[in-house]
Chain A
Amino acid sequence: MSKRNVSVNVEYLTRVEGHGNIVVDVKNGELKTCELQIVEAPRFFEGMIRGRSIFEAQHITCRICGICSCGHTLASIQAAEDAIGFKPSKQTTELRKFLLHMENLDSHILHIYLLVAPDLLGVKSFVPLINSHNDVVRRALRMKKACNDVCDIQVGRHVHPISSIVGGFTKLPREKDLDAMLKILYDMRADMTATVELAATLKFPAFERDTEYVGLVSDDAEYPMLIGDVGSTDGVRMNKKDYKKITNEFIVPHSSAKHAKLSRNSYAVGALARFNLNADKLHPKAKEIAAAIGLKPKCINPYLNTAAQLVECVHSLEEAIRILEDFKKNGVNLDEEILVGLNEKGNIPVKPGNGVGAVEVPRGILFHNYEVDEKGIIKKANCIIPTNQNVNNIEQDMKKLVPEILDKSDEKITLMLEMLVRAYDPCISCSAHFLDVKFVNR
């Protein structure tokens, strides 16, 4: 067994958002290569938005990723407002948090049902589940559509929200909109209960590797998604302005992607990181679910990121409902509706500056950073997406995992590796930072 040769080469890793290859090479029981390669065509967003108005930034950068479109929008807006020194109102902030919850819910449901469940139920994709688990697929699509319908009401659409811009919202929910959204979310509770029940029956591989978990942290009682400092389970805490000291991006000669590290040789972001950092701030119902499925901080099984996503689903649903109920009680101030366009009327004062947005999106902490001139034109932009931060950690996991499962068949090893990568829910397509695979042999 120890002298075994294994060569895994999974091209076009399916069921991850984007294109990745796994390459593992074991000779005589010794691990020679272990890589997660990225073959996505870089889309050069950071270069493209140079010279554009800060009021267009979110419109463009949300198109980095359709799934995290609202998250990119909010990180972009936060960076833009930070750069020009604009402070959003309390109402705006609450509505933004709401939007973030909807996206978190939507994305996690997609991931749990369509991308992970097939593995755990032993089929190749959700397509066979249409026959074997019809009710499950219907529920998944129903929940996904519910999130989408709520976003339609709040911001025009989920994929590339329309009304959420620098300064606030171009359209605010009326009483009837609040009622419609609340109805959808109340109705979703039953499906959420069924989801939790299903998830409780899923078996995750047992594997552990201690690592550093990074995400937003704060001093108040709220599970931070939109606002906070950046912290880690190794005790780091920094202002978001210092994000480059968190990510410490570096290039490794053998590998395809820029890697990130903080206190150790890699770190992880995402639902499990947030759970490990802030589990005590979750909604009571979410805490209950965590206890029921036995998820406790600090959990160091990366496969359980999916379980943490489940816990967050419950949290996001309940928090979203709470925010809407508060608005029902206190009313929405419609006078805050804004008209900005490209700010040709100068409704929002602009000054030169350098701003950072740090927002928790479904896959982990996302940074946007813009430098703008006195006219609000972008001079320099930088976006660091969660998957960029996770790739190094995934490789470290693979390096520990492969030797532990060498007694299994090639198919099983491949599947375990694919599942590991999928557990991180990587969104490779949006990566602006991945280096090309081709120069492995340079």
Chain B
Amino acid sequence: MAKPKVAFFDFACCEGCQLQVANMGELLFDVLGAIDVVEFREVMSEKGPDKIDVAIVEGSITTPHAVEKIKKIRERASVLIAYGSCATIGGVNGMKNNFKLDDIRKEVYGKDAKYFETIETMSVPQVVKVDYLVNGCPVYLPEFVKVLKAALAGLPYQVPDYSVCVECKLNENVCMYQKGVTCLGPVTKAGCNSWCINNGNICYGCRGMVSNPNEKGAKDVLEKYNIPMDLIVNKMNMYNKCREIDQREQKKR
């Protein structure tokens, strides 16, 4: 059987997620042995064929040109994986939506602002159908490998929908609230093995919000430290601002 044709694409992002993939080191050979990388602009000069089996997409959609480009990629690809928070939930690029587009353009480009096309930041699934999501800023490599394997085998992958707190407790970290600082773990989707808390920092919510925070492992933490849910949900804007686009769409319906 021919190896599946896989192509990597990037939109507005820091390219950190593709670097995570490169950081697999020699393990990359195992992955590369199973696939045929046909397009990967950053490391290859070659351009891929019209039909590809798997498109792996990084970055947020922030210009009209990008909207067209992602639609074309969708047409070419049998399976589309969005990886990294920029792609899956809009990520840090979403913070742009906190400002009026004109204001932010002027802030950065002064009187030349009028030459910049920019649209509200959107995640990839807000523009085209996505088959697999790998959250995280950057992606957590073990999860990425798991999803890639699932995608190549045609198996489904379910993004965990319980909170980071669950993993954090398994890792026996002392809770940040106990130390007197806020942490977004209670409302954030697990899957990163509580990466930041293990390293002495707080969770910033990079993996997106669990669908029902009160039931998904957050309740006891929030009750124990008497923290109003609203307060921390508001803090989620750093990565999760693009949620508002979905909420707006839902209201319209």
Contact = CB atoms under 8 A, between A and B. Distances in A.
B239 to A, nearest CB: 10
Interface stretch (A142-150, A219-227, A265-273): A142-150
Contact of B41 (A14, A60, A342): A14
Interface stretch (B98-106, B122-130, B145-153): B98-106
A110 B22 contact: yes
A85 interface: no
A92 interface: no
- Do most interface residues of chain A lie in helix, strand or loop, or is the interface mixed? loop
Interface stretch (B71-79, B162-170, B194-202, B217-225): B194-202
B66 A162 contact: no
A354 B23 CA distance: 37
Contact of A69 (B16, B45, B92, B112): B16
Interface stretch (B49-57, B176-184, B208-216, B243-251): B176-184
B137 interface: yes
Contact of A15 (B42, B66, B103, B180): B42
B15 A60 contact: no
A12 to B, nearest CB: 6
B24 to A, nearest CB: 7
Given A66-B14, A144-B22, A435 B204 contact: no
Contacts of A127: 37, 43-44, 46
B195 A156 contact: yes
B7 interface: no
Contacts of A160: 16, 137-138
A145 B26 contact: yes
B26 A142 contact: yes
B172 interface: no
Interface stretch (A163-171, A293-301, A312-320, A321-329): A163-171
A194 to B, nearest CB: 15
Contacts of B108: 42, 44, 46-47, 432-433
B29 to A, nearest CB: 7
A345 interface: yes
Contacts of B204: 59
A159 B136 CA distance: 11
A429 B138 contact: no
Nearest to A418: B45
Given A42-B108, A60-B92, A17 B15 contact: yes
A42 B117 CA distance: 9
B32 interface: yes
Nearest to A125: B44
Interface residues of B, number: 66
B142 interface: no
Contacts of A141: 22, 24-26, 28-29
A43 B93 contact: yes
A424 B136 CA distance: 30
A163 B200 CA distance: 6
- Interface residues of A toward B: which range? 35 or more
A14 B47 CA distance: 10
B202 to A, nearest CB: 5
B24 A66 contact: no
B198 A156 contact: yes
A340 B181 CA distance: 7
B195 A48 contact: no
B137 A42 contact: no
B171 interface: no
A14 B199 contact: no
B107 interface: yes
A439 B23 contact: no
A157 to B, nearest CB: 7
A43 B12 contact: yes
A241 interface: no
B16 A48 contact: no
A289 interface: no
A259 to B, nearest CB: 13
B118 A44 contact: yes
Interface in A21-55: 40-44, 46-51
Contacts of B63: 41
A411 interface: no
A14 B12 CA distance: 16
Contacts of B190: none
A38 B11 CA distance: 14
B32 A67 contact: no
A339 interface: yes
Given A341-B181, A436-B117, A438-B115, 12 more contacts: A17-B15, A47-B108, A60-B92, A114-B22, A125-B43, A148-B25, A160-B16, A339-B200, A340-B181, A341-B182, A342-B202, A433-B108
21 contacts: A15-B42, A15-B45, A42-B108, A44-B104, A47-B96, A48-B95, A60-B238, A63-B14, A63-B91, A63-B137, A69-B14, A69-B16, A130-B32, A141-B22, A148-B25, A155-B199, A156-B199, A159-B20, A170-B199, A341-B176, A429-B10
Interface of B: 10-20, 22-26, 28-29, 32, 37, 40-46, 62-63, 65-66, 91-93, 95-96, 98-99, 103-105, 107-109, 112, 115-118, 137-138, 176, 179-183, 195-196, 198-202, 204, 238
In the A-B complex, the 3 residue pairs with the closest CB atoms: A66-B16, A145-B25, A341-B181
